[in-house]
Amino acid sequence: NLIRGTNPAPGAWTTLNGKKVQILDARKHLFRRFADVTGKIGEVAEVSATSFKVTAQGGVIEVLRARGEDGKKLSGGEFASANGLAKGALLGT
């Protein structure tokens, strides 16, 4: 809800290799137990053709649409492909 509530301004955002990334649409997936969450917070857990998932406290966030510094709005999968984002990459750096 925070991501939808802040779109378009000021917007939810993070960084990737020092460059700002706006998160335009996302979905949260909660896990029943914290022990089920694997990886570090901010780590890319999965990349698909339509989205990418990032580890968060209590689950993962599936990024459905994002915009990099070039200004193009892309699906999560297109953004991951265009920016070489793969499983294990760390956002917030």
Q: Which domains does the chain have, with CATH numbers?
A: 2-82 (3.10.25.10)
Q: Is the pLDDT of residue 4 over 70?
A: no
How does DSSP assign 1-23, residue by residue?
A: -HHHHTTTTT-EEEEETTEEEEE
| pLDDT digits 0-9 by tens, 60-76 | 999 999 999 988 999 99
pLDDT score recorded for residue 84: 94
pTM above 0.85, yes or no: yes
**What whole-number distance in Å separates Cα of residue 32 and Cα of residue 21?**
29
Distance set, CA 41 to CA 13, 50, 51 (Å): 15, 21, 18
